[in-house]
Structure 1
């Protein structure tokens, strides 16, 4: 479920978009052809964004050799920074930078373990995007790319130790920018990362292994700046 922080951010973006739409219409009426002349300026290929990001994990996984075992993971809200480079008006590459943590809980036949442990994640993600340019200041986009997640600062709780393995994942993305002027805009973005790392743990002196099916949704809202 999307957190209340992100819901509030989305509501804020929606309200600002409505206000900016009305303001843009008034400016166009007052200035006549001036906006068209400004639109002819060549924009910089570089763009950055800062978002509030809700990381919503898929609660699924297994411990090998333990039938009915399951796993669940905590969700977090974090800041996220990304850098985009536009090869053309329509094609861009985006590098997504953020870090977060996940608490790992036992479920099903291992629910008595409760919190198994905790790990931090550094998941740099590179996507190639297509931006639609036929809607004026409203600029939707879709993208796909690759993720490589590094797990660090790991610790066990009911487990004596926890070691989640670094792994690659596939990322899908959709979102939009609403540009307030030539540089500033508002952004909403949703990403799905297919992330299923292997792990080792020591539980009660016995070594176990398995797979965590994190597959997180990353839902974010924030601001865009085009240089």
Structure 2
């Protein structure tokens, strides 16, 4: 609920800023221009899971830790309103199985994610100093450097997968080419996890579905 409240507050702020910005015109965004941004992001999984032991469903769920890392993205403006954005960042997450088969919480170790995401954006008020935008696109997530946590997990493997992305954000022009940026994304991302250990093979169908919340600066050229 806290994550949903945060996003709702952000969207309300964007609407308010948009109304205030209507009369304030600057050089703004242009067709054929590029923008590069650097952000500090929080990756906040909204996870759920279905577990099975040796092919038989068992009780339990999964917990994936939040992560906070720097991120870089690149945008190309097809028109002053329409842009393509590609983001790149990598994050490390600790993973816990919550009470599988009544055994109590089990440390499953950690995994790194690399989720390049391409979105098609629509930028409102491109010639105003406050310019909100929305976007939607596709994601492909690479899981790598998996480390098992011992106990029920001697080895662990995550399957790479495609997902979808929704996005909302705002660019606030600080100078002619410099911007402050606030951005929220929702990724719809699933993976199949295989865990081998003393109990046998545990499989999990995990929906990660993270929120990605970022603040940073951008440069348009």
- The verdict on a shared fold, with TM-score over 0.5 as the criterion, is yes
Indicate the structure with greater helix content: 1
| 8 Å CA contact 1:89, 1:133 repeated in 2 | no
Counterpart secondary structure, 1:136: coil
Does residue 107 (structure 1) correspond to residue 95 (structure 2)? The answer is no
Does residue 141 (structure 1) correspond to residue 129 (structure 2)? The answer is no
Residue number in structure 2 paired with 1:156: 148
Does residue 214 (structure 1) correspond to residue 208 (structure 2)? The answer is yes
| 8 Å CA contact 2:64, 2:95 repeated in 1 | yes
Question: Do the aligned partners of residues 223 and 41 (structure 1) sit closer, same or farther apart at CA in structure 2, a change above 3 Å counting?
Answer: closer
| 8 Å CA contact 1:66, 1:109 repeated in 2 | no
Deviation readout 1:164-211 (Å, 9 max, x if unpaired): 000000000000000012200100000000011111110215122121
When normalised by structure 2's length, the TM-score is 0.82
For residues 206 and 175 of structure 1, the distance between their equivalents in structure 2, rounded to whole angstroms, comes to 46
For residues 196 and 59 of structure 2, the distance between their equivalents in structure 1, rounded to whole angstroms, comes to 19
Counterpart secondary structure, 2:104: helix
Residue number in structure 1 paired with 2:48: 60
When normalised by structure 1's length, the TM-score is 0.80
Residue number in structure 1 paired with 2:13: none
| 8 Å CA contact 1:44, 1:226 repeated in 2 | no
Could you list the runs of 5+ residues in structure 2 that have no partner in the other structure? 11-16
For residues 224 and 169 of structure 1, the distance between their equivalents in structure 2, rounded to whole angstroms, comes to 26
Question: Do the aligned partners of residues 130 and 41 (structure 1) sit closer, same or farther apart at CA in structure 2, a change above 3 Å counting?
Answer: closer
Does residue 166 (structure 1) correspond to residue 181 (structure 2)? The answer is no
| 8 Å CA contact 2:99, 2:106 repeated in 1 | no
**What's the Cα RMSD here?**
2.7
| 8 Å CA contact 1:160, 1:205 repeated in 2 | no
Residue number in structure 1 paired with 2:14: none
Could you list the runs of 5+ residues in structure 1 that have no partner in the other structure? 11-16, 29-34
Shift of 1:59: 3.1
Query: Which of 34, 37, 46 is the equivalent residue of 2:34?
Result: 46
Question: Do the aligned partners of residues 42 and 214 (structure 1) sit closer, same or farther apart at CA in structure 2, a change above 3 Å counting?
Answer: closer
Residue number in structure 1 paired with 2:115: 123
